[in-house]
Structures are given as C-alpha cells and as structure tokens.
Amino acid sequence: MMNRHIFRTGWKKGTMLALTLTFGLAVAGCGTATTSKDEAQTTGSAGQAEAASTDQKLVVYSAGPDGLAKKLVAGYEAQSGVKVELFQGTTGKILARMEAEKTNPVADVVVLASLPSVQGLKKEGLTLPYPDAKNADKLNPDWSDKEGNYFSTSASALGIAYNTKLVKTPPTSWADLAKPEYKDQVNIPDPSLSGSALDFMTGYLSAKGDGGWTLFEQYKANGVAMAGANQEALDPVITGAKGVVVAAVDYMTYKAKAKGEPIDIVYPTEGTVISPRPAAILKSTQHEQNAKAFIDYLLSEEAQKLVADASLLPGRTDVKADKRANLDEIPLLKTNWEWMGEHGSDVTEKFTQMFK
Amino acid sequence: MGGLSVKHIRAWCLTLALIALLFLIVMPLLQIFIQSVYVDEKFQWDAPFRTLAASPFAGVLFSSIWLGICVIAGTTVLALPLAWIMSNTRLAHWRWLDVVLLIPFMTPPYIGSMGWILFMQKNGYLEQLFPNLHFLTPSFFSLGGMVMIMSLHLFPFLYLLLRGALVRIGGSLEEAGAVMGGGFLYRFRRIILPLLLSAYGMGALLIFVKTIAEFGTPATFGRRIGYEVMTSEIHKYISSWPIDFGKATSMASVLLTACLLMWYAQSVINRKFTYRLVGGKGSRPSRLRISGWTTGLSVAFILLLLIASIGIPYFSILSASTMKLRGMGLAWDNLTLDSYKELLSWGSESMEALLNSVFLSLGASTLAVVLGTWFALVIGGSRTRIQRTVDAFSLLPNTVPGIVMVVGLILWWNSPWMPIPLYNTYGMVILTYVILFVPYTVQYVKSAFTQVDTGLFQAGQVFGGRPSYIFRRIVLPLIVPGMLAGWMMTFTIASRELVGSLLILPPSVQTSATYIFAQFEQGQVSLGMAMAVISVGMTTLLLILIESLNSQRKWK
C-alpha cells in the first residue's frame, strides 16, 4: 500500500509542479494582456481631474439595430476623436450586464429599446441628469424626461406585419385578427422578451382600461401564438409558416420589405402605441464630458438623419423620415406612460400565463 | 524519499488544486448564493425559499427532469448500437466517421434547432420538396421532436465514451466466456454490461446534466411548443426587465442540487463497477460479435443516423445561407453566395469575429487541458474525501447552467476589491471558457486514468524506473488520448460558446457565435447561417487534420 503511494506521489510531484507553473504563467500572461486597459483607465480618471480634453474614451451599451448603433458611434468618433467601446445586445442583455457590474460599473451611456426600463433606472437613482443637452427642446416631450435623465433619440411604432403572399386584404383593426380567417395564422412577440410588445400591451390597456383584456382573450381563442422576441416572431411570417405578426416592430418590417421580402405593415385605424428608445448617462460614468458630448451628438441633425435612414422614427420632431411612415401619419392610442411603467410586470405575468 | 515527505507532497498537491478550484469556480458560485439571500441589500436567509414557493417552479423543475430522462433514453438508442458497431465490425476502420460524428455536437444547439424548424414547419423545406408530407408537421412540433433534436445533438458524447469502454474491454474476456459455454445474451449480460456500466453511468449523467442545463434548444424549439424548463425560466429572470438575480439564483441552486444528487448516484455506481482493464497484455477486438448480415444492418443504421443528425439540419442551414429572399423559398434563381462573400472579405467585422473565436478557443482549450489533467491526476481514484471534493468542484461548471456560472464569474472578477484586473479583457473570456469546459478534460483523463491497472506502475518500478520515467513512458501515453479528446472537445465547444460570450465579451469584441446570434436578432438569417457553416466547417477541418496526424503516428 505504502509502496504505491510513494511512487505515485513521486511522479505526481514532478508533473504537479510543472502544471502549476504552466498555470501560473498562463494567468500571468492574461494579466499582462490587460495592462493596456489599465493604462487607459488611469489616464481616463487622471484626465477627468485635469481637463476633459485628455479623456479619450467612452463606453456605450446600446440596443440594436446593429447597423445604426455602429454608424452613430462612428459619427461621434469622427467628430470628437474619442474612442468608443460599444457593447450591443437586447435591452434585457444590457440590463443583465449592468446588474452584474453593479458594484463596479463600466458603461457610461446606455441606449435601450424600452422606456419603462430607463424609467426604472431613473427611479433607482442610476442616471445622471443632463438638462442642458443641446437640441433637447426639439425632442418629442412625451418620450423624454423633463429633468434630462433620459432622451428618446429614436422610436418605433407597433403595427400589424403580414405576408403579402398569404394575406391579400390586410386587416385594418386590432380586432380583425380575432376573426376566423386568421385562425392559427398570427404570432405575437413575448412581452417578457420584447420591450416594444410589452409597450403595446400596457399602452393598449392604459387606453382601453381593463376591458382591453377582452382583445387578448379573443386572440388566445383564435390560436394566436406567443413567439419569442420581435425578430423571432417576424421570421416565420417572412418564410410563410405564419401569416401575421401583431404588435410587430415597424422598422424590422420596413427593412425586410426593402430587401424585397414578401412582407408589409399596417397601423390599425383605432390607433397604436409608439415605443421610444431612450439614451441615458449613468451616474457612475468616469467620462462625464464625453458622455454628454455623445448625447449632444445623438440629438444632432446628422445623427437624427442616420436614425431616419435606419427606418426608425427620429426623436426630434423637426427631422422627417422618408423611408417610412412619419409620426403624423400614424394613428395613436391615448396611452399613459406612468401607468404603463407601473403595471409592466403584472401585465407581462398575466399575459404570459394566458398564452402559455 | 521518506514517508513523511511523500505525505507532505501529496497533501500539498491536493491543497493547491483545492485552492485553485475554490478561487476559480467555488467563490464565483458563492457570489450567486450570496446574491440570492440579499434582497434589497438586507440579509434574508429565507428569500430563496419564498421565491420558489411563489413561482410555478415545481412544474418547470419536473419538465426539466423529464426532458433529461427522455434525452438519456434517446441518446442511448442512438449511441449504444453505434458504439457497438464501431468497436466490433469491419466498419471500425472507418476512422473518418469519428470526426464526422462530431459535427452534430459541434453544431450550436440553437442553430441545429433552427435547421429542424426551417425544415419541418408549415411551408418549410420538407413541404416544399415533398408537399404530401405536410401531415408530419404537427407531430414534430411536440416534446417528442424536442427530445429527438436534443438526442441527435448530444449522442456523439455518449458514443465516444461507450466506444472507448468497449475497445478497452477487448475480446479476450468475452472469448473466455464463450469457451466456458456462455451464449451471446449471457455474455452481454454478465460480461459486457457490467464492464460498460461505469462508462455508461458517466455518459448518461453528463447527458442529463447537459440537457437540463441546455439553453439553445429550449429557447428556439421549446418556446415554439410552449415547453418551459428551468434554464428558460432562469434566463427570463436574468435578461428581461425587471432583472431578478435573486429568483434566478434560487432556481439555479435547485438545479445545482438536482445535478449534484445525480452526480452522487453516478459516483456510487462508478465505484462499484470500475474494473482495471488496461493491463500489460495488449487487447484486440472480439471476433465473436461479427457476422455477415450485421454489417449490412450496421451500414444502414449509420446511414440513417447521418441523414438525421447531419443531413437534414445542414440541408436547412446551407439552404438558408444561400437564399436571396427567404420569402421565396427553395428555387434555383433564389440562390446566391453573397453572404459568404460578405463574411469572408478580409478585415470585415465577421472575419474579425471568426479570428477572435479561433484564438480565444485555442488559448482556452490549451489552458483547460493543462488544468484538467492536473485535477484528474490529483483526483485519481477519488478514494479520500478531499479527492472527492476536488472531483465535485471540478465538475461544478458542468452541473450549473452556463448562464449562472457566467454571472457568478462577472460578480467575482468585477468586484471592486478584486486586485487582478481581468474583467473586460480577452483574458476574462479565455478564463470563462476554461472554467466552463474544464470538466470535459477532467472526465476524459479521469476515465482513461482510472482504468489503468496499478500493476503497470509496479512493473515499471520493479524494472527500476524513476517516477518521472514511469510518468513519461507509462502514464502519459495512456492518458494522452484522454487529453487530446479533452482538448478537441474544449476547442470545438469554446469556438461556438454563446451564452457566456454574450455577457462576458469586452465591448466592441465579437466571436462567431455572438455574431451569428446578432444576425438572427437583426433579421439577417442568411449571414448568420453562413457564419455557422464556416465556423463548423473550420473546426471539422482541424479535427480531420489532428485525426490524420494521430493515426499516422500510430501506424508507423
């Protein structure tokens, strides 16, 4: 017994040392790889103490669409010479990352695709007010914070997207989709995954009162299927597996249509909901001047044109979009954002239970 | 070498491994538990229990476990006959099959599921090719379909373990049984089955754990059929407003407990049924199990398996990647290679993502093999309690849903007092991959090592071999296949890892997996699918290269 131990441990000793050494070196290797970031950070905080001009960094967490976020960052970089680190994800991914980084925040500016979540950030005291943002007075006042905690620099509208090969006469009202001809034909995005879908549901309910639930009950009875986030709900309609998406984000539909896919969108006559996409500076920012300059850039005419080019609604009322329906062409429901923010989680729960 | 110093060294090695594991794996997970009992910055020990009582949790847990059991059954049906064929028939010479059979496993689960969905859905490819088969659609979109997809993804795993065990059993034991008059069924029941049980137990456990920790298929296919499991529920709490780590971590701890119980059951089986099989005498395959008609049947089985596990999903993936307009369906004039051109243009974002994936996975797999081998050797036969603790700790990442482990890692490495500034660097990504996938190397090396008979070491010692010589000439050659398997596995999985990458990559950095995911999110399905084809193709080529180098060395 002892014999075995001796030689076993004997050879093990040698290997173990070698392995430990290798591991140690590897960790050290990872360590050296990080120095550039350290330097960047030190210069960052030092720069803040002296003058803003030496601070050449900004970290932005942005929800899609992908191409637009990159263009905006490139535009800002070209104008300011600041190097932007961009993290892209859905609103949920960004919030999860922020939560995980709570004790040691990294992001300076967040751009989300849902107003209630940024209202939540404000309530928790995580946002930095910037009341002097340039051109903020030209923004749609309903979508942004009066104290300058967040600025909705773009928005999407919710509509009914349909496959033009399968649906010849498009529906004109939300209630149409409860009709027998749409039985098992309709997708609706999951409000726990799609902030804009939730905006539609809470917006519709805030306008119609509790009676609004009747519509969703009829939907359920007509075989409407809850299907992932926005793109996941739209894809089966593009390929023809389903005919219609209700509460579809309009810019995704416009984009697919521009490519030539057999798809189009209508806004029901009784009105729909707009889903603003707010940008906010985080209180924990280490690059305050750059963050403010970035917000100014998002509100500039140049950036607002980029927004319009991406088929989104510009946040500024004086910039028009030519590739899509403008705000004045979309019938709106009388929504109450305060109510919507407060009842988001209840509505999500009730809705997802109903459509399970 | 005195007895005392040996004991010291032994203890020292174990302690060091334990410390490394504590620092790398246990502490990050503890952060999660801490988070789950601190609600609104107040300590509330009962918070997890309240969460569980308030959520529709029992049903979801049951769904997860039921899915795991079904997938074990599914993979067994696929892997056991295959392992038998590949260790006993002439087809065993088809070494290329081993590499080909890794393709299903290298295909990211959410892409494989997407492939199946595109093929089977209404107006899908199947219906476009064979309009009469549309009646299959409803029965496919069910739990049965989900089990099938997941089994087809995971079976190579079980197959590799089972084939390894069957090859090690060799022919002589069975021939002995035959000489003594045992029939085929008797030999199977009394000789092969007991010898196979430990490998099967380990494989089945891993399959179970992989299944209930899997996120990709439930997120794509499960959502379609309304089948919710623990991971999709955890993901919901962790990625949609309002974020609730407390709820997510409470659920994760239950999942963890379930997996640890399974692990315990497996280790009991393992200890009872492990035999020293690799002795001084060489082994050769049994000639008893081969007869004429089995070959034909085997070829048919393999063919069907290849069609289902690779043919169908890759038909969909390739079609989707070459389609001009997805709304137009399968048609020759709807064909284009534009996506590939866009992807492979030098200096493009996609190329950068691809290169990132390759370098990150290379770094991670190499580091993981070093660490994993160290742990596996320290664990040895897991005789002492500390060895078993090391064993349990090193397997933890395989028993926790990836997303939970990753959140733990972020909390740990980004805490304000952490002196090593690893967070938000490439080093962090490599470390995350290493931690997520180190259990593979541990498993493979352990499996090779525990079946080596100590008689071999004693023989080496009798002939005067020094410990380092014995290690180099006896142990190392025997565990190298395990190390290589671990390296390959880590490389392939790391290069397609999604959930961790989504959360942990530094801003402005993408890997092929996050690139694919982003394309799907943005509605650029063709680009995403093209990237999937390229990254899976690349890893397959690499594996073929390794395999051919390996077999050359073996035969010369």
Q: Which residue has the higher pLDDT, B50 or B541?
A: B541
Q: For chain A, positions 9-38, list CB contacts with chain B under 8 A.
A: 9-16, 19-20, 22-23, 26, 29-31, 33-34, 37-38
A34: nearest CB among B325, B421, B502: B421
Residues of chain A with pLDDT under 70: 1-53
pLDDT of residue A132: 92
Task: Name chain B contacts of A165, Cβ cutoff 8 Å.
Answer: 327
Q: For the whole model, what pTM was predicted?
A: 0.78
Higher pLDDT, B38 or A301: A301
Query: Cα angle at A32 between A30 and A34, to 5 degrees?
Result: 75
Q: State the pLDDT at residue A45.
A: 42
Of B172-181, B323-332, B400-409, the range with the lowest mean pLDDT is: B172-181
* Share of residues in chain B with pLDDT > 70 (%): 89
Confidence (pLDDT) at B157: 84
CA distance B183 to chain A (A): 39
Q: Are strands A151-163 and A83-88 parallel, antiparallel or unpaired?
A: unpaired
- Summarize pLDDT for A34-76 with one digit per residue, the tens: 334 444 444 444 444 444 457 889 999 998 787 899 999 999 9
Tell me which residue of A231, A239, A258 sits closest to A322, measured CA to CA: A258
Q: What is the pLDDT of residue B291?
A: 63
For residue A120, give how far its alpha carbon lies from the nearest alpha carbon of chain B (Å): 8
Cα separation, B205 vs B73, whole angstroms: 12
Closest Cβ–Cβ partner in A30, A60, A96 for B243: A96
Q: For residue A191, what are the CA distances in angstroms to A232, A346, B376, B472?
A: 13, 11, 46, 59
* Residue of A299 and B200 predicted with greater confidence: A299
Secondary structure (DSSP) of B403-433 = HHHHHHHHHHHTSTT--S--TTSHHHHHHHH
Residue of B nearest to A68 (CA): B522
How much is the average pLDDT of B293-317? 90
Candidates B123, B228, B240, B407: best to mutate against A (most CBs of A within 10 A) is: B240
Higher-confidence residue of B479 and B176: namely B479
Q: Tokens for B3, please give them.
A: 């007895």
**Residue B6 is nearest to which of A5, A116, A236, comparing CB atoms?**
A5
Q: Among residues 50-79 of chain A, which lie with CB inside 8 Å of chain B?
A: 59-61, 64-67
How far apart, in whole angstroms, are the C-alpha atoms of residue A223 and residue A186? 7
By CB atoms closer than 10 A (0-12, 13-18, 19+), residue B296 is exposed
Which range (A236-250, A278-292, B16-30, B289-303) has the least confidence?
A: B289-303
Region B259-280: what's the mean pLDDT? 68
pLDDT > 90: what percent of chain B?
20
CA B141 to chain centre: 25
How close, in Å, is residue B63 to chain A by CA atoms?
14
Q: Judge whether residue B39 has pLDDT over 80.
A: no
Q: Do B241 and A91 touch (CB under 8 A)?
A: yes
Q: Contact at 8 Å (CB) between B389 and B523? A: no
**Disruptive mutation site among B113, B225, B241 for chain A (greatest number of A CBs within 10 Å):** B241
Question: Residue B178 corresponds to which amino acid?
Answer: A
d(CA B47, CA A280) in angstroms, rounded, equals: 32
Please indicate whether residue B448 or residue B320 has the higher confidence score (pLDDT). B320
Q: Report in angstroms the alpha-carbon separations of A116 from A77, A159, A275, A340, B2.
A: 29, 20, 10, 7, 70
Residue of B nearest to A239 (CA): B327
Picking from B373, B475, B522, the nearest residue to A11 by CB comes out as B475
- CB within 8 Å of chain B, chain A residues 328-347: 344-345
Backbone angles phi, psi at A317, to 5 degrees: -75, -20
What pLDDT is recorded for position B2? 44
> Which residues on chain B are in Cβ contact (under 8 Å) with A341?
none
Q: B495-524: per-residue pLDDT in tens? A: 888 878 877 888 878 899 888 888 887 778
Task: Please report residues of B whose CB lies closer than 8 A to that of A4.
Answer: 454, 457-458
Mean pLDDT of the residues in chain B: 81
Identify from A17, A103, A104, A188 which residue to disrupt to test chain B contact, counting B C-beta atoms within 10 A and taking the largest count.
Answer: A104
* Cβ-contact A157, A272 below 8 angstroms: yes
pLDDT at A21: 44
- Chain A / chain B CB contacts < 8 angstroms: 219
